[in-house]
Amino acid sequence: MQRYTYVLSLRITHPSIDPEHISRILGKPADRSWKAGELRRTPKGTLLQGRRPESYWTCNPFYEGWRESTEEGFEDALEEQLGWLEPHAEFLLEIAEQGTIRIWFSSHSNRNFAIELPPRLLGRMAALGISLVHDVYQGA
């Protein structure tokens, strides 16, 4: 059994979309978002220089924090996330024309591990215009 901890999130960037529109269509509130042109701020609200060059929306759609691979593997969690997204395919493909849609897979492990994404799963992601980012943290 591969042993690692992980968390999944959906991250969308677009030159102009209103993040509230994304939340309405997908039926989930953003964990963090901003609209293109807004003043830049830190997560705590401190004003920074400049304005946001693009809109951003992110959410952990199932409100789960870090998961143990021994309870549910990444591949199964990805299947669940794609099942939630597929009814919104037309909307996602519109976003992907000018923006990016990423499933962000962050993981921790103190040993090597591997994941395998079969062509069927990769095809489902491609059909929605979604890419996968694997963000690796050392240690567990």
pLDDT reading at 108 higher than 90: no
pLDDT attached to residue 67: 80
List Cβ neighbours of 63 (8 Å cut-off, separation of 6 or more): none
pLDDT attached to residue 62: 75
pLDDT attached to residue 46: 94
Flag whether the pTM goes above 0.85.
yes
Cβ neighbour number for residue 11 with a 10 Å cutoff: 17
Residue 22 binned pLDDT confidence (cut-offs 50, 70, 90) = very high
Residue 109 binned pLDDT confidence (cut-offs 50, 70, 90) = confident
Distance in angstroms (rounded) separating the CA atoms of residues 18 and 125: 23
Residue 1 binned pLDDT confidence (cut-offs 50, 70, 90) = low
